[in-house]
Amino acid sequence: MATIAQHRVTHSTAFRVRRLRNQILFWSVIALFVIFACFPVYWMFVTTFKEVNDLYNLQNNPLLFHLPPTLDQVRYLFEQTNFAKWVENTAVVGGAVVIITVLICVPAAYALARVRFPGSDSLGIGIFLTYLVPPTLLFLPLSQLVAGFGLNDSKWSLALVYPTFTIPFCTWLLMGFFKNVPREITEAARVDGCSRLGAMFRVVLPLSVPGILTICIFAFTLAMQEYVYALTFVSSSDEKMITLGVVTDLIRGDVFFWGSLMAGALIVSIPVAIVYNLFMDTFVRGITGGALK
C-alpha cells in the first residue's frame, strides 16, 4: 500500500519537472522566433524616436533611449518631404488597382472554377503562369508601352501595370473560394429559374464576400508594396507611392536620414500589419484552394 503511494508521488514529481522543462523549452523557442520576427520593428521604433545625438553616439547602448524621445524625425518626414502626397498617391493608385482587379478577376475566377467550357483548365494554368513572368523581364518593354500611353513618370502608369501581377494572383485565390461553394446550391438556383449570371450574382458572390474582400486587400497591399516597377517608371517625388518615396527620398546623396526613414517605414508598416493579421486566416483558406474547409 505504502509503496504504491510513494511510487505515485515520485512519478508525478518527475512528470511535473518534465512538464516544466518542456514549458521552458517551448517558450524559449517561441521567444527566439518572436525576437527574430519583431526585432527590426523594435529597431525602427527606437530609431524613429531617438534624438540624432543619441542615435549616432557609439558610446551609448543603442537599444535604449539616453535622451528623452523626440518627434523631430517624424516632423521632418511630414514637413520636409512629400510624405502626405505619397500617402494620397498610394490611396488613389491602390484604389484604382483594386477596382480593375475585382472587375477582371471575379468573372474570370468564377468561370474558371465553376463553368465547364472547352480549354478552361489550360486557360487557368495560362493565367497562373503569367504570374511567373518576372517584373525584371517586363519592366523594360513595359516602360516603352507606358511611354506610348503618355504615362511616363506618372503614378497612373503604376495603376495600369500593377494588375499584371494582381490579376493572376487574385484569380487563383478567388478560384479557391468559388470552388468551396457547393455546386448543389447553384444547381438549386438554376432549377428555380435563375440564369447562370443570376446564379453567380445572387447565390455564389454573396457567399464569397470574404473571398472578394480578401483579394481587394491583397490587390491593395501588393500594389502598395511594389518597388521594382515603381522604381523604373516613376522618378518625380510628387508621383511616388509611399513605399518608394520612403526608401528613396530620404537618402540625399550619401546621407541617409535614418530617423525619418524609419519613421516612414513604421507609418507604412503598422496599418498594413494590422490589416494583414486580421485577414490572414481568410488568405490561407483562399490560397490553399479547395483543400481546406
As a whole number of Å, the end-to-end CA separation of the chain is 53
Extract the C-alpha cell encoding 141: 518593354
List, in sequence order, every residue forming a beta bridge with 252; answer none if it has no partner. Answer: 255
Contact window for other proteins (CB under 8 A) among 74-82, 181-189, 204-212, 260-268: 260-268
| Closest approach of other proteins to the CB of residue 100, in Å | 8
135 touches other proteins by CB under 8 A: yes
Among 76, 78, 131, 156, binds other proteins (CB under 8 A): 131
Count of positions on this chain that bind other proteins (CB under 8 A): 100
Q: List all residues 6 or more positions away from 82 whose beta carbon is below 8 Å from its beta carbon.
A: 237, 238, 240, 245, 249
191 touches other proteins by CB under 8 A: no
**3-state DSSP assignment of residue 256:** strand
Among 24, 40, 71, 153, binds other proteins (CB under 8 A): 40
**Counting Cβ atoms within 10 Å, is residue 226 exposed (0-12), middle (13-18) or buried (19+)?**
buried
Q: Using CB under 8 A as the criterion, what x/- string covers residues 197-216 for binding other proteins?
A: xx------------------
DSSP 59: T
Q: Using CB under 8 A as the criterion, what x/- string covers residues 150-189 for binding other proteins?
A: ----------xx-xx--xx--x------------------
Q: List all residues 6 or more positions away from 134 whose beta carbon is below 8 Å from its beta carbon.
A: none
Contact window for other proteins (CB under 8 A) among 8-16, 65-73, 203-211, 262-270: 262-270
Nearer to other proteins, 10 or 136 (CB): 136
Nearer to other proteins, 5 or 191 (CB): 191
Nearer to other proteins, 219 or 261 (CB): 261
Nearer to other proteins, 118 or 253 (CB): 118
Extract the C-alpha cell encoding 220: 491593395
Among 151, 158, 175, 224, binds other proteins (CB under 8 A): 224
240 touches other proteins by CB under 8 A: no
On whether the CB atoms of residues 81 and 249 are closer than 8 A, the answer is: yes
37 touches other proteins by CB under 8 A: yes
Nearer to other proteins, 7 or 275 (CB): 275
| Closest approach of other proteins to the CB of residue 10, in Å | 27
**Sequence-ordered alpha helix ranges (H) in 195-289:** 196-199, 205-207, 209-225, 228-233, 242-249, 258-287
**Counting Cβ atoms within 10 Å, is residue 116 exposed (0-12), middle (13-18) or buried (19+)?**
exposed
Considering only residues 70 to 129 of the shown chain, the ones binding other proteins according to CB under 8 A are 103-105, 107-108, 110-112, 115-118, 120, 123, 125-129
Supply φ then ψ for residue 119, to 5 degrees.
80, 5
